[in-house]
């Protein structure tokens, strides 16, 4: 063949900033294909065209078929893809995201590998939730205790405000329908938040598995960051949805409400700023497609150079 078919891969600098994209799009029981620079979503209601570059994360639920050409476009535009279970409440797999730069990843690994710096970052996370209280001298055990009490108070407050009975966070991840309406709503809301947080983390080149509070799971850092916003966003939404007697599909109703809250609150921008702050870096777009060679004496040396052996 003389050439390569398809449109030219976009330059990284030409793609929308991650903080400027819409948050997430959940799709199930549909076929996803590609037309020029957009993906097409086809189901029983018709065809919808979506510019791939404006979406932060695609949540693909059961019954979703996606073409190779569509995935090529999604990958080129840096849109994260998460394959989920029914109603988006399970995380099965994910695709590669935008950043090719490891600057923030290296900083994250350095911080999490040292006990003192790891505790310092964890304290910064808790301080964001306890704005009027100094937690700089508290141990991790004390911080967990304060956080547990805070979350219990939030649940009680929302239960009283909405009239939704609350007996505790009880759910079966393998059987969404077996949970109470409020637990179903919480599962759906938190999963949407996890998907969004995941997409920002990997788009910036950070590792979703290197957590500072959570550990041992490939999404530990996702859970760390998502916990910063639950009290403000997903928990109140879940209780409000559960309080509505006319909501037939709790999962869908919750996802729509969370989506609207994400758009109104510009939370992608907040997550981006918070990640830079937690890593101790100035806010910038880590988009450059750079690669160097590592040297134990010189640090970084230029890639793509033929180095002769010196004796």
Mark the binding-site residues for Mn(2+), compressed into ranges.
147, 214, 227
Which residues, in sequence order, are CB contacts of 21 under 8 Å at separation 6+? 53, 54, 55, 56, 268
Residue 173: its H or E element:
none
Contact 211, 220 (CB under 8 A): yes
Separation of alpha carbons 44 and 262, rounded Å: 28
For the record, the structure tokens of 252 come out as: 């869908």
Contact 58, 84 (CB under 8 A): no
- Known binding-site residues equal 147, 214, 227
84: which strand partners?
91
Alpha-carbon distances of 41 from 2, 29, 178, 226, rounded to whole Å: 32, 10, 30, 29
Separate counts of helices (H) and strands (E) for the chain: 9, 10
Three-class DSSP category at 270: helix
Nearest to 19 by CA among 296, 298, 262: 262
């Amino acid at each position: 063949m003389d050439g390569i078919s398809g449109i030219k891969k976009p330059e990284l600098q030409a793609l929308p900033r991650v903080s400027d994209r819409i948050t997430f799009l959940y799709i199930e029981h549909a076929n996803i294909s590609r037309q020029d620079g957009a993906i097409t979503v086809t189901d029983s209601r018709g065809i919808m065209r979506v510019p791939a570059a404006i979406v932060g994360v695609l949540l693909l639920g059961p019954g979703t078929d996606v073409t190779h050409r569509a995935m090529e476009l999604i990958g080129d535009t840096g849109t994260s893809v998460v394959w989920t279970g029914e109603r988006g409440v399970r995380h099965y797999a994910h695709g590669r995201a935008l950043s090719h730069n490891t600057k923030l990843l290296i900083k994250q690994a350095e911080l999490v590998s040292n006990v003192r710096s790891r505790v310092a970052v964890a304290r910064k996370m808790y301080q964001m939730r306890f704005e009027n209280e100094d937690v700089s001298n508290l141990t991790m055990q004390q911080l967990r205790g304060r956080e547990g009490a805070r979350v219990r108070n939030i649940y009680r407050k929302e239960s009283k405000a909405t009239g939704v009975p609350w007996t505790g966070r009880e759910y079966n991840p393998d059987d969404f329908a077996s949970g109470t309406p409020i637990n179903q709503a919480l599962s759906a809301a938190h999963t949407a938040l996890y998907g969004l947080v995941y997409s920002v983390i990997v788009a910036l080149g950070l590792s979703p598995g290197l957590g500072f509070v959570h550990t041992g799971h490939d999404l530990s850092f996702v859970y760390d960051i998502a916990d910063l916003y639950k009290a403000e966003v997903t928990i109140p939404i879940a209780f409000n949805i559960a309080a509505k007697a006319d909501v037939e599909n709790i999962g869908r109703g919750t996802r729509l409400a969370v989506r609207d809250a994400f758009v109104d609150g510009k939370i992608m921008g907040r997550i981006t700023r918070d990640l830079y702050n937690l890593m101790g870096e100035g806010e910038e777009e880590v988009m450059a497609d750079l690669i160097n060679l590592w040297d134990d004496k010189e640090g970084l040396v230029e890639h793509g150079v033929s180095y002769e052996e010196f004796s």
